Amino acid sequence: MSERKLFAHELEARLDELLLLTLRQRSAALPAAQLEALPRQQQERVLHWVGIAAQTSTELGWAIAQRAGTRAAQPGFALDDWARAGLEAHDAGGLAAAQARLDEYAAAAPDSASAARGVTFAAVEGRLAGFLHALDGRPMQLRCGPRTWTDGETLWLPESLDLAADAAGNRRLYTVIAALLWAQARFGTFNVDPEPELVQWADRDTALDWFSLFEGMRLEARLALDLPGLARDMAALRGPWPAELAPVAARLARPEASAADSLACMAELRRVGAGDTAHPPYRTTLDPLAARRLRAARIARDAGTLRRALNIMRAIDPHSRGGASDSEYPPLAADGDSVPAELQSGDLQGLPPDARAAAQSLAQDLDGIPPELLRPAGPGAWRPEDRDEGDGAVAAASGEPDALYDEWDYRRGAWRRDWCHLYESEDRPGNTPGSMRCAFATRT
Amino acid sequence: MTAPNSSARNDLRAVATPLVQIAKEPYYHATGDELEVFAAAAASGLPVMLKGPTGCGKTRFVEHMAWRLKRPLVTVACHDDLTTSDLVGRYLIVGDETVWMDGPLTAAVRGGAICYLDEIVEARKDTTVVIHPLTDSRRALPVEKRGEYIEAPPDFMLVISYNPGYQSVLKEMKPSTRQRFVALDFDYPQAEVEAGIVAHEGGVDADTATKLVRLGTLTRKLKGAGLDEGAGTRLLVHAAQLIAKGMAPVTACTAAIARPLADEPDTRHALDDLIAAVF
Ligand SMILES: Nc1ncnc2c1ncn2[C@@H]1O[C@H](COP(=O)(O)OP(=O)(O)O)[C@@H](O)[C@H]1O
Ligand SMILES: [Mg+2]
């Protein structure tokens, strides 16, 4: 990108293009004149947000354009946070709410020393999303909330951090926490059932604190294999382990250590009597029950997806897959040769993308794909020939939705609350079981 | 362009760049059967298309094959202003004479060279059409401005490269063009192989090369999620070269990998975080 500032007439033209202002007989001359004073990067940032807002509503884009010049001129102004806050307010309460939010945000602009070094979740959400996507290979769902934890699918991070002495340190702390939560899901914290150990502790919260601490030790060592810089940051943040914990840390740092070892360490500690845990600044909490509930649902879903894909592959190409076209759905894993060789060898390239993703997710949850999952689904499963019986059952996307979901808006690079609307339709007599359909509509 | 007067139809060896043969073996690590396929296509007079992401060794491979086959190599980096005249040739005024100068394609055809048109889809559509007669049984280049029809000698070979990664309708290659070529798929090499290449080309130790490749692999996950394409081997080699000169790895990777890849702030920061995590 060229570093030359845009002149007012260029800014005016770009705003006009984004917001179709001439059509509305409005002039961008004033906002453009204000934006002219900003450095190029900030000018582009403003235009970026105006463009994103305009995809929701040109009025919202105009609201941002009108205010951005004076706001962004304030030193240290968090333009991205401000714009995101405006968009969120618009989602929740419409244009008036957005305008109010955009105006009052300036009044609440950070000026104290702690706010200057403090970092908000909104300020790091985009970069963390990219960072985790690269680590995981898939987009991860990020949220902020009072508790720092993961259920294995969504990562909940603090709303803001100001523990470190400067903003860079607090951003690094965010990165470490996010990576640690990701590592819990990725490297098997939820693949063991901790309940038999947890119930033996008088205080469940203390027990979970220890579990979390021991898993942190194990995962730091696991992360050090591929991401030594990150592990170094973790070590620097926590400082040296207290002498009495050092042997445990060394034991959990062995490459073959698993979450079961963390539980074993807890059992030993329990016998000698446990005090309070050490509290590293990247401390997370654990909710194994919630995580394992989701994990069970995920395994069932992924197993279903994988089985259906195998069904289809066999139906299309029974010979090369080695199975009969299984009209009676025998448990194919019983005869070993019906498991496609490429799956046994861990090569998933032959699967369609969604099934490949399911297989990868299963392998992560179960440390490999158990053969009993490599069976086709039971009767009534989706097969190529009972697709598309007409979409008559699809409800018209009108009236009040039956459920609302948060959904990822790739343009904003953020999750949007209640953005996805679910409409359910009555299952009329004569409809086949498969004819229940959901119609999604995005709010406009 | 001035029309020539027939007496001035001079041969322009004086102006044209001479064809050069590659003297020293260009280092190339084969990752599949590409050496055999290319050699067979060369022996049969078939044109070859190299498909794959940027910086994964296509150009290096052609250089290596030209050396192997002992044929001169003419490389043309295609861009959207590339005209037919740029490829085929044009009349120039030299002193008070109008003289013809062969373009790189014509020079390659005459000299029995390998002509490598890099990133062919970047060139204007009419440009791609001039290569058609060279890619079928005619194996000839009509030079319309000169009224000349040059039959290619057996050693002439046309090679094009094409990056299917950019998902743009404008940058798609038409079937009428693509179905004329023997195609070779290129991709980033396996991690260990790529680390060997980076160590060799960049002059760094195995540990540094492994980390660079790990970083490269992570950035490739961001394709379509902030990046058009992840870091190719070339960028990893560049970073390695800076490190070999004594630059700190994080600084080198920021300059040679993160900055060239992304402009968008969130993506740039995500890359910064990845670099800090890997080193
Ligand atoms: N298989 C390979 N063998 C040797 N060097 C390679 C190989 N692949 C990539 N490289 C290195 O990467 C650099 C970029 O490769 P290049 O051939 O220019 O890529 P492309 O033409 O595909 O964009 C080369 O200069 C070389 O250093
Ligand atoms: Mg090239």
Task: Kindly report, residue by residue over A58-81, the tens digit of the pLDDT.
Answer: 889 999 998 888 888 777 788 888
Cα distance between residue B150 and residue A340, in whole Å: 54
Q: How many domains does chain A have?
A: 4
CA angle A61, A10, A7 (to 5 degrees): 110
Q: So what's the ipTM on this one?
A: 0.85
Q: Is A440 part of any domain?
A: yes
Cα distance between residue A191 and residue A292, in whole Å: 8
Indicate if the pLDDT at residue A252 is higher than 80.
yes
Cα distance between residue B62 and residue B158, in whole Å: 11
Nearest Cα residue to A133 out of B218, B190, B120: B218
Cα distance between residue A14 and residue A54, in whole Å: 13
Q: Which ligand is nearest to the CA of B163?
A: 1
- For ligand 1, atom 13, the nearest C-alpha belongs to B234
Q: Is A1 part of any domain?
A: no
Decide which of A230, A251, A285 is a domain's last residue. A285
Q: What three-state secondary structure class fits A403?
A: strand
* Pairwise pLDDT comparison (A4 vs A53), residue with the higher score: A53
> Rounded to the nearest 10 degrees, what angle do helices A58-73 and A8-19 cross at?
150
Ligand 2 centroid to Cα of residue B161, in Å, is 8
- The whole-number average pLDDT for the span B243-269 is 95
Q: Do A103 and A179 fall into the same domain?
A: no
Does B97 lie at the interface with A, CB-CB under 8 angstroms?
A: no
Ligand 1 centroid to Cα of residue B269, in Å, is 27
Q: Do A266 and A341 fall into the same domain?
A: no
Decide which of A285, A305, A327 is a domain's last residue. A285
Give chain A positions within 8 Å (CB) of B278.
226-229
Domain residues for A135?
Answer: 120-285
Token code pair at residue B59: 């150009």
Q: What three-state secondary structure class fits A57?
A: coil
Decide which of A82, A111, A140 is a domain's last residue. A111
- Domain B6-185 fold is Rossmann fold (3.40.50)
Q: Do A134 and A236 fall into the same domain?
A: yes
Token code pair at residue B92: 């120039």
Residue B163 CB less than 6 A away from ligand 1: no
C-beta of residue A66 within 8 angstroms of C-beta of residue A95: no
Q: Do A139 and A271 fall into the same domain?
A: yes
Q: Do A259 and A312 fall into the same domain?
A: no
Of B214, B222, B276, Cβ closest to residue A133: B222
User: Are the Cβ atoms of B277 and A227 closer than 8 angstroms?
Assistant: yes
Indicate if the pLDDT at residue A323 is higher than 90.
no
Cα distance between residue A231 and residue A253, in whole Å: 12
User: Are the Cβ atoms of A126 and B219 closer than 8 angstroms?
Assistant: no
To the nearest whole angstrom, how far is the Cα of A169 from the nearest Cα of chain B? 12
- The whole-number average pLDDT for the span B66-75 is 96
Q: Do A240 and A125 fall into the same domain?
A: yes
To the nearest whole angstrom, how far is the Cα of B267 from the nearest Cα of chain A? 6
Find tokens 């023997």 and name the residue. B182
Q: Is A36 part of any domain?
A: yes
- For ligand 1, atom 6, the nearest C-alpha belongs to B57
Nearest CA in chain A to B216: A134
Cα distance between residue B118 and residue A398, in whole Å: 53
Q: What is the pLDDT of residue A336?
A: 35
Give chain B positions within 8 Å (CB) of A119.
none
Segment B25-40, tens digit of pLDDT: 999 999 999 999 999 9
Find the chain A residues whose C-beta atoms sit closer than 8 A to any C-beta of B. Answer: 1, 41, 45, 80, 126-131, 133-137, 139, 172, 175, 179, 226-230, 233, 413
Segment A27-37, tens digit of pLDDT: 888 889 889 88
Token code pair at residue B50: 């190299």
Q: Is A154 part of any domain?
A: yes
Give chain B positions within 8 Å (CB) of A175.
273, 276-277
Q: Is A2 part of any domain?
A: no
Ligand 1 centroid to Cα of residue B40, in Å, is 22
Q: Where are the alpha helices (DSSP H) in B185-255?
A: 191-202, 206-220, 233-244, 249-253
Find tokens 């502790």 and name the residue. A201
Q: What are the DSSP calls for A287-325, one per residue?
A: -HHHHHHHHHHHHHHHHHHHHHHHHHHHHH-TTTTTS--
Confidence of residue B109 (pLDDT cuts 50, 70, 90): very high
Q: What is the pLDDT of residue A412?
A: 66
Confidence of residue A331 (pLDDT cuts 50, 70, 90): very low
Does B279 lie at the interface with A, CB-CB under 8 angstroms?
A: yes
Q: What three-state secondary structure class fits A418?
A: strand
User: Are the Cβ atoms of A134 and B214 closer than 8 angstroms?
Assistant: no
Give chain B positions within 8 Å (CB) of A126.
265-266, 269-270
Q: Do A374 and A386 fall into the same domain?
A: no
**Which is the closest atom of ligand 1 to the Cα of B62?**
17
Q: What is the pLDDT of residue B168?
A: 55
Does B228 lie at the interface with A, CB-CB under 8 angstroms?
A: no
C-beta of residue B30 within 8 angstroms of C-beta of residue B38: no
Q: For residue A83, count CB atoms less than 10 angstroms from its CB and return exposed for 0-12, middle for 13-18, buried for 19 or more.
A: buried
Long-range contacts of A327-333 (CB under 8 A, 24+ apart): A329/A375, A329/A376, A329/A377, A329/A378, A329/A379, A329/A381, A331/A372, A331/A375, A332/A374, A332/A375, A332/A376, A333/A371, A333/A372, A333/A373, A333/A374, A333/A375
* DSSP assignment letter at B132: G
Residue of B266, B275, B278, B279 for testing the chain A interface, max A β-carbons within 10 Å: B266
- The whole-number average pLDDT for the span B224-242 is 95
Of A127, A135, A179, Cβ closest to residue B269: A127
Q: Do A202 and A269 fall into the same domain?
A: yes
Indicate if the pLDDT at residue B186 is higher than 80.
yes
Ligand 1 centroid to Cα of residue A385, in Å, is 47
Give chain A positions within 8 Å (CB) of B276.
172, 175, 229-230, 233
Token code pair at residue A102: 């955009």
To the nearest whole angstrom, how far is the Cα of B132 from the nearest Cα of chain A? 35
- The whole-number average pLDDT for the span A374-399 is 41
Cα A323 versus chain centre, distance: 38
* DSSP assignment letter at B227: B
Residue type at A206 in one-letter notation? T
C-beta of residue B2 within 8 angstroms of C-beta of residue B98: yes
Residue B56 CB less than 6 A away from ligand 1: yes
To the nearest whole angstrom, how far is the Cα of B226 from the nearest Cα of chain A? 7
A229's enclosing H/E stretch is: helix A228-238
* Pairwise pLDDT comparison (A10 vs A108), residue with the higher score: A10
Nearest CA in chain B to A174: B273
Confidence of residue B240 (pLDDT cuts 50, 70, 90): very high
User: Are the Cβ atoms of B278 and A137 closer than 8 angstroms?
Assistant: no
C-beta of residue A53 within 8 angstroms of C-beta of residue A93: no
Residue type at A171 in one-letter notation? R
Q: Do A278 and A292 fall into the same domain?
A: no
Of A126, A133, A229, Cβ closest to residue B276: A229
Residue B233 CB less than 6 A away from ligand 1: yes
Q: How many CB atoms lie within 10 A of CB A246?
A: 12
Cα B138 versus chain centre, distance: 25
Cα distance between residue A93 and residue A102, in whole Å: 13
Ligand 2 centroid to Cα of residue A421, in Å, is 47
C-beta of residue B165 within 8 angstroms of C-beta of residue B220: no
Give chain A positions within 8 Å (CB) of B210.
none
- The whole-number average pLDDT for the span A115-124 is 86
Ligand 2 centroid to Cα of residue B77, in Å, is 8
Q: What is the pLDDT of residue A28?
A: 85
Nearest Cα residue to A172 out of A123, A215, A234: A234
